[in-house]
Amino acid sequence: MNMPSRKTITASIFIGFVLLFLGALGWYFGAPFFDNNSSSEFSEEGESRGFTFFPFGRGSGDVQPTFPVTDPNESTNTGGDVLPSGEQPQIPVDRFRNISSEPTAGAFIFRRQVGGNSVFDTGRTIETAIRYVLVESGHVYEAEEDTQIVKRISNTTIPRISEAHFADFDSIIVRYLDPTTDVVRTFSGSLVSREEVEGEDEGELQKLSGVFLPEDIQDISINKSGEVLYTQKTGAGSVAIVTDLSGQEKKQIFSSPLSEWKPDWSRRDNTISLTQYPSYVSHGATQLLNRSTEVVTPFISGRRGLETLLSPDGTQALVSFRSNDGLSLFVRNQDGRFIDTGLNTYAQKCVWSSDNVLAYCAVPNNSISSEAPDLWYQGVETYSDDVWRVQATDGSTREVFSPFSEANVTLDIFDIKLSADERYLYFRDKQNLYLWSYLLEL
């Protein structure tokens, strides 16, 4: 028997080492492709297996990357991180949706064009989104209308926001009580990238940058062109000031010996309604102020607990006041006649359609006390509402939906808004300030 030569042995050992080395490399780089029993979808933070062609990890088996969106059968919580950029999972929403399970200070609905970002992408669509401000942090969030996607937009922290008024999707006026002075402060700002302001890049999160408006502001309303109107008390009563979002161009357009007027300019450019703060013990009035001429015209007077919601074209109004039948809702038409809707609710629980014909109102199922609206504004009295549609031409009504029947929840609805295509209603619950939406037509 011939013994293998030393060269043969050396070559065999070398080949063996080469095969062993190649096998190790195959296991190292091939495992992610063949291992379907991994207990972790991605590598844990800080864990390293050396160089990889997939620096953001690879899913195992049929498991897909998990984005921070909620189960379509569960309520949306807005406390998560900003969603990753790029294509998002299109999860359909429920018809009746809890958008935010944290208190919100105000919201804004807007439309935007998506797609068509390159010569190869010719599909352009219009989508509707809603931005809102959280009470506790002042952070701005955004929810898409037709999906479950919710993402944080800003990380400028302003604690305990009481009101948020949007001029557009990135211009916001927030109001809060300064804990050091017990003065209500009003801040007008715009959402800008932190890199633009501070030379720092924090990804998608933006900063609210702006200026403070005067400290003694009572009420604020912003028209559809972004002009701001606010009221202030004076030694002789009160005044109304028009300014821009920077607070620089100021002009007084109204004065009164009375000290408390609530302005509404939100869906018009020229006609402003001014209504005295409502109370069951006093007879209130509403006046119309022409922005261009500064002429004041009496609109309604002598009604207890009066609230007025002017139509977008300024020709008619939803009006609630106390009568022998309690607190009732009427339509005041162009001729000055009052049409009884048969609904017992507040005008401030309503929203007009853009056609100036239809309106949607939240109507309490439980009774409204004899001391309303005072007790409701004080938070002593709460309601469980259904939503009704009102035909302004004749005052006819029909029920649209019941939150209790839909989802076994009781909501004291206020701050109602319609999406631009008028497919969705958005509103807040006065008891906890959560934000909700409802799809009107499937």
Note the pLDDT of residue 27: 45
Q: Which two tokens stand for residue 65?
A: 């990357």
- Average of pLDDT values for 178-186? 91
Tell me the longest C-alpha to C-alpha distance in the chain. Answer: 125
Place of tokens 């999160």: 205
Q: What is the mean pLDDT of the chain?
A: 82
CB–CB of 171/245 below 8 Å?
yes
Backbone phi, psi, residue 163, to 5°: -145, 145
What are the extents of the domains in the chain?
Answer: 75-215
CB–CB of 341/397 below 8 Å?
yes
DSSP code per residue over 59-85: --TTPPPPPS---TTS---TTSPPPPS
Of 21-25, 327-331, 394-398, the one with minimum mean pLDDT is 21-25
- Average of pLDDT values for 2-17? 56
Give the N- to C-terminal CA distance of the chain in Å, as an integer: 89
Residue 426 burial (C-beta neighbours within 10 Å; 0-12, 13-18, 19+) = buried
Note the pLDDT of residue 147: 84
Q: What is the pLDDT of residues 128-171, one digit of tens each?
A: 899 999 999 999 999 998 888 899 999 999 999 999 999 999 99
Instruction: Check pLDDT > 50 for residue 31.
Output: no
Q: CA-CA distance, 390 to 388, in Å (whole number)?
A: 7
* Edge-to-edge strands, sheet with 183-193: 161-168, 171-178, 183-193, 206-212
More confident of the two residues 23 and 377 = 377
- What percent of the chain lies above the pLDDT cut of 70? 74
Place of tokens 């028209």: 223
Of 17-31, 346-360, 383-397, the one with minimum mean pLDDT is 17-31
Residue 363 burial (C-beta neighbours within 10 Å; 0-12, 13-18, 19+) = buried
Of 43-57, 82-96, 199-213, 284-298, the one with minimum mean pLDDT is 43-57
Half-sphere exposure for 261 (CA within 13 Å, toward CB): 29
Residues 6+ apart with CB under 8 A from 204: 82, 85, 151, 153
| Confidence at 57, pLDDT banded by 50, 70, 90 | very low
Note the pLDDT of residue 292: 95
| Confidence at 347, pLDDT banded by 50, 70, 90 | very high
- Average of pLDDT values for 383-404? 97
Instruction: Check pLDDT > 70 for residue 265.
Output: yes
CB–CB of 343/328 below 8 Å?
yes
Of 21-35, 214-228, 258-272, 394-408, the one with minimum mean pLDDT is 21-35
Instruction: Check pLDDT > 70 for residue 75.
Output: no
For residue 376, the 8-state DSSP code is H
More confident of the two residues 368 and 50 = 368
Note the pLDDT of residue 198: 53
Q: CA-CA distance, 441 to 247, in Å (whole number)?
A: 41
Note the pLDDT of residue 145: 84
- What percent of the chain lies above the pLDDT cut of 90? 68
CB–CB of 317/309 below 8 Å?
yes
How many angstroms separate the Cα of 98 from the Cα of each of 92, 190, 288? 14, 27, 36
